């Protein structure tokens, strides 16, 4: 007598296969979404974000950045900001612009 009904995949096999396929496609979709996100960003010319005139940019010293943050928070006024910025840059106090 031949028992053909017992040589197939059981319920746990179907379950494992289904879960594996769902995980595989989730990983593929996440990888594609991350690639689009990484390569789809619009970058300004030169690779640096735009900076307001007079404000320290990403390549400036950390002292200028801290000074700009203090000015933005209102801890120091215009005159003190200009004076300290001129001191940091080594120029006369009257020539620095915010």
Per DSSP (E only), the strands in 1-98 are none
User: Residue 96: pLDDT band by 50, 70, 90 thresholds?
Assistant: very low
Quick one: DSSP state of residue 17?
A: H
> Could you tell me the residue ranges of all domains in the chain?
11-37
Rg, C-alpha atoms of the chain: 31
pTM: 0.38
Each residue of 30-80: pLDDT tens digit?
Answer: 999 999 988 887 665 555 555 555 555 555 568 888 888 899 988 899 899
């Amino acid at each position: 007598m031949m028992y053909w009904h017992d040589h197939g995949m059981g319920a746990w096999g179907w379950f494992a296969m289904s879960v594996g396929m769902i995980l595989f496609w989730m990983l593929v979709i996440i990888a594609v979404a991350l690639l689009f996100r990484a390569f789809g960003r619009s970058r300004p010319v030169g690779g640096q974000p735009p900076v307001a005139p007079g404000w320290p940019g990403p390549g400036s010293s950390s002292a200028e950045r801290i000074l700009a943050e203090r000015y933005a928070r209102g801890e120091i006024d215009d005159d003190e900001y200009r004076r300290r910025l001129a001191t940091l840059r080594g120029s006369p106090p009257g020539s620095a612009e915010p």
